[in-house]
Amino acid sequence: MSHVANVMISVEMDDVPAVEELSQWLQTSAPQRGGDPGATGWVGSLRETTGRDSLWGGGKHPECDVYAGALNHADLAGLVAHIERIPWQCPEFVQLFVKDQHDLYFRVWMFHGAELRQLAPEGREQAIEPPGTPRHIHTRFALTGDAELLRELWVAAVSWEPGRGLSPEAVLSEPSNSRYVDGWPRRGDLGLVAVATREANGFDPVPVGAAWLRYFTEDEPGYGFVGPDVPELSIGVHPAERGCGVGTALLRRLLRIAHESGVDRVSLSVERANPALRLYEREGFLVHDPREGANSLTMVADLRTRP
């Protein structure tokens, strides 16, 4: 199974021979990961993307040389250490960009004296994914093409109890259910999708959950309707991924984005027996206007009081 990392390195033109030697090392003796300890051998190569004869960017000769490649099973720490040991002619202009398949962004290294030091991202991934997010989970915004996914996950959310056995047709035939997903996205909608990348599926991103906010009206309220100015939360996670932190990651990031977008309060409806109730309580949702004996609770989170 592959484990791919995208690598680029930018150097002054006097250092092109050093990059060529680096590429040869990647093809013959680079340290490998995922196999036997200490294994070395082929992990890929770097190909020149610029060059002295290139007109890079439209009519201008490049001011540097950039090499790039997709490495497979490369020990990235070993790669960085090897680049640090190369006798560069102009080390102050060496820039290394690495995006491992689990990373959200390219990481950037430059020389500070003799040390190749990582400069970025400076906490960027932590600013995107909340603390505690499982390593194999990333979140992205829910797009128009995710409408069917949200329908599927809404059915999963409604059918949370084992043995309930509700069919998608039965759930979505009810207007009180279909209004949560019909016409996605409409004005004011905000949502996130959680995707999992695992070796078992070739590290392809597979959607496993989603959380979204939608405004309702008094004429067509949601189950947790509080007012037309308070969006209601929906969240669904595939059964196989429940209890692994996916719902927490979705909820925390969505509430943060909502607050940054000017939303003051968010509501939801949850059945008393649903284990998700504990998640909502932990994330600051409080019961709103409790009804004695009711099977479901309406809860509200005040985003203005969140850290």
The pLDDT value recorded for residue 189 is: 94
Q: How far apart are CA 202 and CA 79, in angstroms?
A: 23
Same domain, 95 and 211: no
Q: How far apart are CA 250 and CA 142, in angstroms?
A: 11
Same domain, 140 and 13: no
Rg of the Cα atoms in the chain: 25
The one-character DSSP state at 100 is E
Q: How far apart are CA 66 and CA 68, in angstroms?
A: 7
Same domain, 142 and 101: no
Same domain, 144 and 207: yes
Same domain, 259 and 222: yes
Same domain, 157 and 68: no
The pLDDT value recorded for residue 215 is: 97
The one-character DSSP state at 162 is T
Do you find a cis peptide bond into 231, omega within 30 degrees of 0?
Answer: no
Q: What is the pLDDT of residues 142-167, one digit of tens each?
A: 989 999 999 999 998 888 776 666 78
Choose one of 87, 104, 125: the last residue of a domain.
125
Same domain, 89 and 149: no
The pLDDT value recorded for residue 180 is: 95
The one-character DSSP state at 32 is B
Same domain, 44 and 103: yes
The domain tally of the chain equals 2
CATH number, domain of 161, equals 3.40.630.30
The pLDDT value recorded for residue 84 is: 94
Choose one of 75, 94, 125: the last residue of a domain.
125
Same domain, 173 and 103: no
Q: How far apart are CA 206 and CA 52, in angstroms?
A: 42
The one-character DSSP state at 212 is E
The pLDDT value recorded for residue 125 is: 47
Give 15's contacts (C-beta < 8 A, 6+ positions apart).
65, 88, 89, 90, 93, 94
Same domain, 86 and 25: yes
Same domain, 157 and 52: no
Choose one of 125, 149, 170: the last residue of a domain.
125
Domain that holds residue 37: 4-125
* E strands present in the chain: 4-11, 30-31, 40-41, 47-48, 65-72, 95-100, 107-112, 115-120, 137-141, 190-196, 206-214, 232-237, 265-271, 286-287, 296-302
Same domain, 111 and 55: yes
**Which parts of the chain sit beneath pLDDT 70?**
1-2, 51-58, 121-128, 162-165, 199-203, 291-293
